[in-house]
Structure 1
């Protein structure tokens, strides 16, 4: 039974009038919050009394208010909560509006692979080196975002991800394809940790990609050949900066990038020490306690080269500034190009290969403890506390090792090395004896 006769009844209300009930839970609150009249609907859902706002009079007239109340009653009869349904509709509209705004700004939809991946990268950046973070995002932008970037994570199947990775694989980049699978898998796990109800489709395709063949970078481990290379570097007729960089690489046991990006403020020539900031060292992660700088003791030979360089580039801030690019360091291909120009192709040596050279000869020839060599190479140490003490651990041994290594290189360059490198004899298969037996038979027969 309807209790409010018509809209005229409402229009005739005077200030101070109390609640006007229409029956079955629908009522009007006259002059609430000023001169406005507010419709409300009371209902019971799961044994709880709830109130739903229906609208404001006169925008919502009596007929419309009753229609909305009837719809709410029908929802309750179906076992649905009208308030929850309204929130869902509002959220849906809000998401649609937000999606339109993001689209106008050129941004990916919320919950899409690209949107989640970019948030994952931003979350992880603080624990990565700057270069590693750039590489991760660049790989996603080139190979994954164009294919599945705008797809919602819950809608992405293993086949969709596999198709994206196989396009990279088809170009011969097997290592990149496998790394993309690992990166994408971390994006899905990040979303799962945030509460999304889904599973990682990349886990189902780990065996569907070709495994890359591990190829070590070329390095000279023969002392005689190393001496030839050192002499060739001293005679290099190209850029003075490049020659100095090539002269330093064998002595410092660093990656070429760590040398190229060197800044003078990191180097103490008086005490023969160089502290390379942890964020510039290779590797995506920095420990929770924070990684100390990597210590590079400088031999007298290395200091001499740095002294010459300081006179030329000391005011620039960079040890190896780029020619023609202000504020940039020497490019990554410069050193390898110089090695090729001297007649040493990539199958013989690379700028990165000097680390393998040092690792091999220091242990095999100079008999330096392997753990000290590994520490100087900035490789991971086995004990949990090792990272925290890398800055000073084995400091005296490392200082002595770096000087001994430079002295050995100097001896090789001048053909005066007295240490003999152990070499294997030329391989002669026992089957070669058969040729001798056959020759003897022929001699006897004749």
Structure 2
């Protein structure tokens, strides 16, 4: 064990010869001199037969060296060492730096950032109307309240505060905003943009306690045109030479859904037999537990119409500029056609193409007809008709609309497809729609007539 020597003064240190000498005042502290100059100090300490040492090099004063040496000696005697303490300090500083960088990064990853990333990544997988609804929900209802907050800092209380103002008064808007918030948090968790492991925007959790059950307004049917006006509408429609108008005309003649007509491909049709086999992917209804009839019978007018259409790609209805990319019409294409026809008619008669029995709940105004509403037009026309066999005509109408499902109970033994009745009903419908209309005056028949 090093001896404790009487503390030397600075003058005494300077008078020492070259070599190593005890400084005194701190056990084991020595000074190293070469060429008459002090080159450094060393603290030596023995424990368990091994020597430990700490060197002090620099412009320290003698008092500063003794203070450091005394502190380090205390560390040795307590069972640790200056090296271990300094390593721990460096590690603590490194952790603080990492935590600061992490907090700075998290501050940049806000709810708005995550929402924009989610919407951008899935833009191509959803419809234009869905994208628009997401942007409205974000910018109008979510971003003002929680957009600037780091995604990790958004609490259940924050979400409740953002949704509460519209939760009861605007249930449709509230539902869209809630759905988007839920999707954004799921996205952030999946992409590791947050350390959250559970979604705070979940009504089955605490959020559901803070928000009252979302009111469900009574469902409204799609506005539909009365069948007495179908010929007048078709005359207006046929004057619109566009792929969207052609798709709407075909959907009306066949009683089809928007997606079935928009996504139709030439390979689905057997024009010689007058049938159209629609793949499940083109339909709104996806059936997991039963089969559904997906074959439509075509009227002679529908077949003739298809034969007159130019084939510019796999899709039946496509804008010429989109043909090379095989890009189908948007889900709003038919709506835009109806909207344009409605505005023109409104200029003429002040009413437009409306459903007088369908009112806007907020404004009380009569609603404009829809593409889907023409299915109701067809069904109502069949319902009002006089048929040789009324029951079979109604069953055939349901088959035309592809409402029949072959489940394990009611449909297990019903295998008659009403093909003959379907043909009679759909042909009568086409004859009714086009009665008194000379198709040679309209596109695409006009090209052949010329």
**Residue 336 of structure 2 is aligned to residue 333 of structure 1:** yes
Report if the CA contact (8 A) 1:275-1:295 is conserved: yes
Q: Give the superposed CA RMSD.
A: 5.7
**Residue 159 of structure 2 is aligned to residue 161 of structure 1:** yes
- For residue 370 of structure 2, give the secondary structure of its aligned residue in structure 1: coil
Q: TM-score, length-normalised on structure 2?
A: 0.53
Question: What is the rounded CA distance, in whole Å, between the counterparts of 1:329 and 1:257 in structure 2?
Answer: 9
Q: TM-score, length-normalised on structure 1?
A: 0.53
Corresponding position of 1:92: 99
Q: CA deviation at 1:149?
A: 3.7
- For residue 317 of structure 2, give the secondary structure of its aligned residue in structure 1: coil
Q: Say how many residue pairs are matched.
A: 336
Structure 1 pair 386/233, CA: closer, same or farther in 2 (3 Å)?
Answer: same
Q: CA deviation at 1:354?
A: 0.9
Question: What is the rounded CA distance, in whole Å, between the counterparts of 1:293 and 1:121 in structure 2?
Answer: 37
1:347 to 355, 378, 383: 355
Report if the CA contact (8 A) 2:278-2:294 is conserved: yes
Corresponding position of 2:149: 151
Report if the CA contact (8 A) 2:223-2:373 is conserved: yes
Q: CA deviation at 1:196?
A: 1.8
Corresponding position of 2:173: 176
Question: What is the rounded CA distance, in whole Å, between the counterparts of 2:130 and 2:375 in structure 1?
Answer: 24
Corresponding position of 2:423: 403
- For residue 333 of structure 1, give the secondary structure of its aligned residue in structure 2: helix
Report if the CA contact (8 A) 1:301-1:406 is conserved: no
Corresponding position of 1:356: 376
Q: CA deviation at 1:356?
A: 1.8
- For residue 347 of structure 1, give the secondary structure of its aligned residue in structure 2: strand
Report if the CA contact (8 A) 2:262-2:329 is conserved: yes
Report if the CA contact (8 A) 1:168-1:177 is conserved: yes
Report if the CA contact (8 A) 2:300-2:427 is conserved: no
- For residue 251 of structure 1, give the secondary structure of its aligned residue in structure 2: helix
Corresponding position of 2:18: none
Corresponding position of 1:115: 114
Larger Rg: 2
Q: CA deviation at 1:406?
A: 1.9
- For residue 224 of structure 2, give the secondary structure of its aligned residue in structure 1: coil
Corresponding position of 2:304: 304
- For residue 307 of structure 1, give the secondary structure of its aligned residue in structure 2: helix
Q: What runs of 5+ residues in structure 1 fail to find an aligned partner?
A: 10-19, 29-61, 73-81, 417-446
Question: What is the rounded CA distance, in whole Å, between the counterparts of 1:179 and 1:207 in structure 2?
Answer: 16
Corresponding position of 1:33: none
- For residue 146 of structure 1, give the secondary structure of its aligned residue in structure 2: helix
Corresponding position of 2:252: 250
Cα distance per residue 1:104-127 (max 9 Å; x no partner): xxxx35xx47538956997x999x
Report if the CA contact (8 A) 1:130-1:279 is conserved: no
Report if the CA contact (8 A) 2:164-2:211 is conserved: no
Question: What is the rounded CA distance, in whole Å, between the counterparts of 2:31 and 2:306 in structure 1?
Answer: 96
- For residue 315 of structure 1, give the secondary structure of its aligned residue in structure 2: coil
Q: What runs of 5+ residues in structure 2 fail to find an aligned partner?
A: 3-26, 33-43, 53-79, 357-368, 437-450
Cα distance per residue 1:227-259 (max 9 Å; x no partner): 442255146562244664443232322233542
Report if the CA contact (8 A) 1:121-1:137 is conserved: no
Report if the CA contact (8 A) 2:375-2:401 is conserved: yes
Report if the CA contact (8 A) 1:253-1:358 is conserved: yes
Q: CA deviation at 1:307?
A: 1.3
Question: What is the rounded CA distance, in whole Å, between the counterparts of 2:197 and 2:258 in structure 1?
Answer: 42
1:6-45 map, 5 Å: none
Question: What is the rounded CA distance, in whole Å, between the counterparts of 1:91 and 1:377 in structure 2?
Answer: 62
Q: CA deviation at 1:273?
A: 3.7
Question: What is the rounded CA distance, in whole Å, between the counterparts of 1:217 and 1:167 in structure 2?
Answer: 28
Structure 1 pair 90/183, CA: closer, same or farther in 2 (3 Å)?
Answer: same
Question: What is the rounded CA distance, in whole Å, between the counterparts of 2:112 and 2:241 in structure 1?
Answer: 48
Report if the CA contact (8 A) 2:137-2:177 is conserved: yes
Report if the CA contact (8 A) 1:260-1:320 is conserved: yes
Corresponding position of 2:11: none
Structure 1 pair 197/182, CA: closer, same or farther in 2 (3 Å)?
Answer: closer
Q: CA deviation at 1:290?
A: 13
Report if the CA contact (8 A) 1:263-1:318 is conserved: yes
Question: What is the rounded CA distance, in whole Å, between the counterparts of 2:157 and 2:406 in structure 1?
Answer: 39
Question: What is the rounded CA distance, in whole Å, between the counterparts of 1:356 and 1:22 in structure 2?
Answer: 98
Corresponding position of 1:272: 274
